[in-house]
Amino acid sequence: MVNDSKKQNHQRFKTPFGQYFRYLDKIDRGKRYSKEFGSIMILSILEEVGEMARAYLAKHGHKKSNLAAQQDETYEQELGDILITILRFARVKKIDLHERLMYSLKKIEKRRLKPKQ
């Protein structure tokens, strides 16, 4: 069982996300993850999505009175924060993001080729 876990972890680092996982391993070295980590990361993703939406709306004139949003990070920078939070979640939960993305891409392709009637 331990060997399977090591093999699976090794496979994760061979995906296009491996470089990011290795970088996060350095950043998070020594960090302990609680049972609540998944919930915290999901809330963090929602927070970052909110920040990106606020920055996007401010940039495109939908929130003219929101000066704080215009002075904070750009929506492009916030998108990076969202991706890092997703990567951190996937790394700790041992989710193969390459596999998940390929699954979703194939699902979208299948819908395109065979739309529901």
For residue 33, give every residue at least 6 positions away whose Cβ sits within 8 Å of its Cβ, in sequence order, or none: 92
Confidence at residue 40, expressed as pLDDT on a 0 to 100 scale: 92
Domain count, the chain: 1
Q: What is the CATH number of the domain that holds 19?
A: 1.10.287
- pLDDT tens by residue, 6-51: 555 555 557 788 888 889 989 988 888 888 888 999 999 999 999 9
Among candidates 103, 89, 108, which has minimal Cα distance to 42?
89
Whole-angstrom distance, CA of residue 27 vs CA of residue 31: 9
Domain residues for 60?
2-113
DSSP 50: H
Amino acid symbol at 65 = S
Cα-Cα-Cα-Cα torsion 85, 87, 90, 92, nearest 10 degrees, comes to: -80
Confidence at residue 84, expressed as pLDDT on a 0 to 100 scale: 94
